[in-house]
Structure 1
Amino acid sequence: MEWKRRPGQMYGPRGVPLPGQNFAEPGDKEPAGGKKGGGARPEPAVVAQQAVRELVLPDPEIRTNPDETYAQLVRVPTWMWLDRVMWKPVSETAKVPGVSVTATAIPRSATWRMGDGTTVMCKGAGTAYSVKYAAESESPDCGHTYARSSAGQPEEAFTISVTVTWDVEWHGGGEQGTVPGLQTQAQMSLRVAEAQALVVS
């Protein structure tokens, strides 16, 4: 939306007039049934863009079992999950005279790249491992089993990464909409070893 620049008016991102300013030019006529300087109401979709820009999304914090300080084992399931503290909606509200719009970002999925050429898609944050699960059990919703070790890789480890996709829903000014596909990312190194059988004569 193009805003008509007026003398003495201050403007924010994308030319949106800042709050507390007079939108009228000198000599403007007083609108019927209102005070002089009412001005045009900004489009909610424009204000929504400002709210989306002001969202502060948390960075993912990767967790695995076995823990990253230990080597994963070939043919033994690795569990992956994200810290639950960050897996929740984040909201921000932008206000200009006449319009208030709230944007809410919701985490939808996590895409894991395991460093061995495998990509794992998880719909949620994943399940944290606990002792109630058998050591050889697979994660019910977010896991991977390596078929080869990380020997020969830089620092003898795979670089794994996770990309969290957020969808944004906004509402205000009698309108609503969505902004799909915002992303946050994190990565870490993971060593994978191959267990050696011990032959006893």
Structure 2
Amino acid sequence: MSARKASTRWTAPFLAAAVALIPGTAYAAGGDTPGGNLGKQQTTATRQDKNLGVHTKVQTTVEGSPKSTKTGTLTPTNSNWDPPACWYEPAYTPKQIEAAVKAIRTFKVFGIGDLVGGVFDSYFKEGHPYKNYNLDKQGEGQFWAAAVNEKRKDEPEAKACNKLPFWVAKGEPAKERLAVSPRILAEYAYDQIPVPDTEITMTPKGETKVNLPTWVWLDKAKFKKISVTASLPGTDLSATTTAKPVSLKLNPGTSDAETYPASGECPIGDDGRIGKPRAKGTPADTDPPCGVRYLRSSGDASYELGATITWQVTWKSTTEPGGELPPGEFGATQDVVVREIQSVNR
């Protein structure tokens, strides 16, 4: 192994450990001076991953977000898949890398600043692998750095982006599996979809009778398609992820019950509604299109009726064809009191 390859091999992990000793100077990707537009956020992010990582510049916009209601986050039905925990994105100009190393050198306690700054200089300045911070290439590209999905920063996968910033020339793709892409943006947007609380409406409300069908439906106004667009400013990278409710799964909370339909899965109708209210005058024993019939009283307690909506998720981009992402689920439970039907003997 050559001396240069050996140096590159040990430099990254050594830098990662060394930077951890310095309590926080970072430079924003938005300017060539300390702080910039994202200084405070980047300082936090840099201290998290110890590899001159940055707070992501990815921006999201929501279309169809439910108003005046609590929201939650989708859980993928595929347990082997999760939205990305980290990726690499354009982060530093040559001048910003140079400025960051100079700032590190100002930390004088026990000479750590000079020690760490020297190691960074070896990586970015002295040809192992970069020379003079690539200052002669200012405007011709950027150093890409690790960014972490804040919702998943404590997951082990968030540590997968452990490389130091690497150079990507303008107009060229980043030769890195975890480099940000429309697909990664689409998966990130998946994590940002604000699905409404799965609050069902029932007839009868809150309390029902043994063997009496309870009708269940969802508020059509709240359960509509929701889209989130994730984009990276300064690039042509953008993706839109859309979630559409397709079915409602009912779990009565007891084996002493029957569901309508028998599978407990209520599909979305042609009118966009899941289930429907019981019309006035409908006989009490009429089977609902979506609902539950309890066969035993809940006594002094109640049953927890679980309601979980399955959302179909797709994505598209202006630069890639897009496609499907794993369906997502979001659910809640409601207490249902079940009483015996009282009869009067004369």
Tell me how far apart the structure 2 counterparts of residues 198 and 128 of structure 1 sit (CA, whole Å): 30
Tell me how far apart the structure 2 counterparts of residues 143 and 62 of structure 1 sit (CA, whole Å): 10
Larger RCO (alpha carbons 8 Å, 6+ apart)? 1
Query: Residues 27 and 37 of structure 1: is their aligned pair in 2 closer, same or farther, counting only changes over 3 Å?
Result: farther
Query: Residues 28 and 160 of structure 1: is their aligned pair in 2 closer, same or farther, counting only changes over 3 Å?
Result: same
- The answer to whether the aligner puts 1:170 opposite 2:315 as a matched pair is yes
Tell me how far apart the structure 2 counterparts of residues 192 and 8 of structure 1 sit (CA, whole Å): 59
1:160 and 1:187 in contact (8 A); partners too: yes
Instruction: Please name the residue that 1:91 is paired with.
Output: 227
Tell me how far apart the structure 1 counterparts of residues 88 and 191 of structure 2 sit (CA, whole Å): 14
Query: Residues 174 and 157 of structure 1: is their aligned pair in 2 closer, same or farther, counting only changes over 3 Å?
Result: same
Tell me how far apart the structure 2 counterparts of residues 188 and 80 of structure 1 sit (CA, whole Å): 12
TM-score under structure 1 length normalisation: 0.78
Pick the aligned partner of 2:253 from 80, 105, 115.
115
Instruction: Please name the residue that 2:217 is paired with.
Output: 81
Q: Which residues of 2 match residues 4-83 of structure 1 at below 5 A?
A: 9=29, 10=54, 12=56, 14-17=86-89, 26-28=135-137, 37-40=170-173, 42-68=180-206, 71-83=207-219
Instruction: Please name the residue that 2:131 is paired with.
Output: none
Amino acid at match of 2:218: L
Structure 2 gap ranges (5+): 1-26, 30-53, 57-84, 95-133, 142-168, 175-179, 269-273
Q: What is the count of residue pairs matched by the alignment?
A: 183
Instruction: Please name the residue that 2:279 is paired with.
Output: 130
Structure 1 position 110, deviation (Å): 1.1
Query: Residues 75 and 129 of structure 1: is their aligned pair in 2 closer, same or farther, counting only changes over 3 Å?
Result: same
- Please give the per-residue CA displacement for 1:103-125, whole angstroms capped at 9, x wherever unaligned: 00011211111122256221132
Tell me how far apart the structure 1 counterparts of residues 254 and 307 of structure 2 sit (CA, whole Å): 14
Tell me how far apart the structure 2 counterparts of residues 133 and 180 of structure 1 sit (CA, whole Å): 39
Tell me how far apart the structure 1 counterparts of residues 136 and 184 of structure 2 sit (CA, whole Å): 28
Bigger strand share: 1
Instruction: Please name the residue that 1:3 is paired with.
Output: none
Query: Residues 180 and 15 of structure 1: is their aligned pair in 2 closer, same or farther, counting only changes over 3 Å?
Result: closer
1:112 and 1:163 in contact (8 A); partners too: yes
RMSD, matched Cα: 2.8
- The answer to whether the aligner puts 1:149 opposite 2:294 as a matched pair is no
Tell me how far apart the structure 1 counterparts of residues 285 and 328 of structure 2 sit (CA, whole Å): 35
Tell me how far apart the structure 2 counterparts of residues 51 and 128 of structure 1 sit (CA, whole Å): 34
Tell me how far apart the structure 1 counterparts of residues 137 and 229 of structure 2 sit (CA, whole Å): 31
Bigger helix share: 2
Tell me how far apart the structure 1 counterparts of residues 265 and 252 of structure 2 sit (CA, whole Å): 11
Amino acid at match of 2:229: T
Structure 1 position 87, deviation (Å): 1.7
- Please give the per-residue CA displacement for 1:17-37, whole angstroms capped at 9, x wherever unaligned: 269x769x5444969xxxx73
Instruction: Please name the residue that 2:335 is paired with.
Output: 189
Query: Residues 14 and 39 of structure 1: is their aligned pair in 2 closer, same or farther, counting only changes over 3 Å?
Result: farther
- Please give the per-residue CA displacement for 1:73-129, whole angstroms capped at 9, x wherever unaligned: 112111111222222110000112112110000112111111222562211321122
More displaced stretch, 112-121 vs 73-82: 112-121
- Please give the per-residue CA displacement for 1:148-167, whole angstroms capped at 9, x wherever unaligned: 1111xxx5211111111112
TM-score under structure 2 length normalisation: 0.47
Structure 1 position 16, deviation (Å): 4.1
1:72 and 1:193 in contact (8 A); partners too: yes
